[in-house]
Amino acid sequence: MTRLLIRRLVHVIPLLFGVSILSFFIIALTPGDPLSDLLSNPRISRETIEALRHRLGLDLPIYVRYGRWLIGLLRGDFGLSLQYQVPVSSIISPALVNTLILSLSATLVSLLIGIPLGVIAAVRRGSVIDRMCGFLATVSLSTPRIFLGLLALLLAAKTGWFPIGGQYSSSFDRLTGVEKLMDALRHLVLPALILSLAPLAIYLRQMRGNLLDTMDDDYVRIARAKGLSETAVIVKHARCARRWVRSSRYSATQSETC
């Protein structure tokens, strides 16, 4: 697992570098610059705008600007927001924390729902539950996320079960500790559920497929023949088989140990 994480991190570095170059050059090559709007202001002279453009380095070649931006980024300096006149890091930090909370919540929901549904679909292969799980996975993967978000907004507006937007209610500061937690969770449930649908479908399909492959192995049939209950076969033997199959080190001796 450690080697896998290291390899993934190593692969992410050139990807992020390429994305940063592409994004920076696309924005820089568009007509105008952040100071173009000031040209329409008659109270600001063109000399003042040019001096400000020189101070910000907007008159430098694009590769020089990218180099300066990259060096500042590596030092933790994200620059100054011209719109809000505050450091960019102070704007990104709250949004980054909220994004992290939402992503972790969606991942947790997808794992808690997708894996049990995959197990149930595999155990009830060919049943109505299995077909419903397959339908759910297909719809979740084929429906655009933005369309699901619009449906969620419509549901929230029509039923009033969930808030339409925001992270907290307007009366959040007047609530007690438990009430604040429940208010935050109420605002988090619907976005996390929508974001979890796609990974939920992937976990469901992977779990169902892996479990079906494992349940057809000979040692699982032997376990049933020995009189073990279906729950013991699924929870103990199938789980152990999946672990060894993934690591490609499964053997008959190890199956007996399981």
Within a domain: 89: no
| pLDDT the model gives residue 219 | 67
| pLDDT the model gives residue 216 | 67
| pLDDT the model gives residue 240 | 52
Among 209, 225, 249, give the residue marking a domain's end.
209
Tell whether 188 and 229 lie within a shared domain. no
Within a domain: 87: no
HEC string for the chain: CHHHHHHHHHHHHHHHHHHHHHHHHHHHHCCCCCCHHHHHCCCCCHHHHHHHHHHHCCCCCHHHHHHHHHHHHHCCCCCECCCCCCEHHHHHHHHHHHHHHHHHHHHHHHHHHHHHHHHHHHHCCCCHHHHHHHHHHHHHHHCCHHHHHHHHHHHHHHHCCCCCCCCCCCCHHHCCHHHHHHHHHHHHHHHHHHHHHHHHHHHHHHHHHHHHHHHCCHHHHHHHHCCCCHHHHHHHHHHHHHHHHHHCCCCHHHHHHC
| pLDDT the model gives residue 26 | 85
Low-confidence ranges of the chain (pLDDT < 70): 1, 166, 168-173, 216-220, 222-224, 226-258
Within a domain: 175: yes
Tell whether 104 and 176 lie within a shared domain. yes
Domain extent, residue 246, equals: 217-258
| pLDDT the model gives residue 135 | 85
Tell whether 189 and 221 lie within a shared domain. no
Tell whether 104 and 172 lie within a shared domain. yes
| pLDDT the model gives residue 242 | 47
